Amino acid sequence: MIILFTDFGLGGPYLGQVKAVLARLAPGKTVIDLFSDAPSCRPQESAYLLAAYAEEFPPGSVFLAVVDPGVGGARPPVAVLIDGRWFVGPGNGLFEPLLRRGHQVEGFRLIPSPTARLSASFHGRDLFAPAAARLALAGRAAAGMEPFSLPRFQEWPDDLSRVVYIDHFGNALTGLRANCLAPGTLLEIGGERLSRLRTFGDAPPGGAFWYENANGLAEIAVNMGNASQALKISIGDIVGISTT
């Protein structure tokens, strides 16, 4: 299974162009759109989001992850094997939380094929998708890469106390794992301090709260309402942590 995690956006040709490459080079492999609207040009927020959502996929999965504002610049194109799952994309921090939480890690640098075209602006199609397809179909020997010491981002925190995604319902996902927060933790955002509840029905209509979402992240929500609008939340906003 090949899983796409990108900031390409829902419209436009980019996802389709990448999928056409995958269909040609890895025919028959299932391709799943996990996120097509990861935080645009924000590798750090995207990294904590990816780490939370990658967990439910089995070993052998290949993630094609592209949030790459530096395309055409100096960041290396990489692949990394973390506890049996492959991640292919730019070496710009996008895999930092995964690297830190992983147990068995091997890093690689992608080597562009000397015969393939390589556009200056679309490495997702021209470099990352072919590597992911070959990894999924034939394993590491086929993918065109060499062992590499991945750039690390040691100053990044273990959990990110920022909003990393706002979903269709207005719920605000944070980069905080709920099970790393002490009982009684309050989250502060938009001038409000929010308590933890189990799920939506435990809050009054219009009431704001936080809860552990279905992928383990602390998520800020409003029962029968839109948290993002009610609390004026944007991606990247800082989330305060306090206790009662």
| Closest to 131 measured CA to CA, from 76, 57, 83 | 76
Structure tokens, 160 = 């990110």
Task: Rule CB under 8 A: choose which of 59, 83, 139, 169 binds its own copies.
Answer: 169
Contact indicator for 188, 225 with CB cutoff of 8 Å: no
Give 164's contacts (C-beta < 8 A, 6+ positions apart).
Answer: 39, 45, 46, 48, 49, 173, 174, 175, 217, 235
C-beta closer to its own copies: residue 1 or 138: 1
Q: Does 196 bind its own copies (CB under 8 A)?
A: no
Which of 72/206 has CB closer to its own copies? 72
Of 74 and 182, the one with the shorter C-beta distance to its own copies is: 74
- By CB under 8 A, what part of segment 67-96 binds its own copies? 69-73
Alpha helix locations (H) across 55-177?
96-101, 123, 129-138
119 or 242, CB closer to its own copies? 119
Residue 9 engages its own copies in binding (rule: CB under 8 A): yes
> Which residue from 60, 84, 116, 121 is in contact with its own copies, where contact means CB under 8 A?
121
**Position 229 contacts its own copies (CB under 8 A):** no
The residues near 107 (Cβ < 8 Å, ≥ 6 apart) are 78, 79, 80, 147, 148, 149, 150
Confirm if 139 and 149 have CB atoms less than 8 A apart.
no
**Which x/- pattern over 128-157 shows residues binding its own copies (rule: CB under 8 A)?**
------------------------------
Query: Nearer Cβ to its own copies, position 13 or 157?
Result: 13
- Residue from the set 114, 120, 154, 234 that interacts with its own copies by CB under 8 A: 120
Tokens of 69: 């504002």
**Which residue from 42, 45, 53, 237 is in contact with its own copies, where contact means CB under 8 A?**
53
**Nearer of residues 74 and 141 to its own copies, judged by Cβ:** 74
Rounded Cα distance between 67 and 22, Å, is: 18
The SS3 call for residue 237 is coil
Please choose, from the candidates 67, 68, 71, 84, the residue with its C-alpha nearest in 3D space to the C-alpha of residue 6.
Answer: 67
Which tokens sit at 38?
């990861």
Q: Which residues bind its own copies (CB under 8 A)?
A: 1, 3, 7-17, 19-20, 23-24, 27, 30, 32-37, 40-41, 53, 56-58, 69-73, 119-122, 125-126, 165, 167-169, 198-201, 211, 213-215, 224
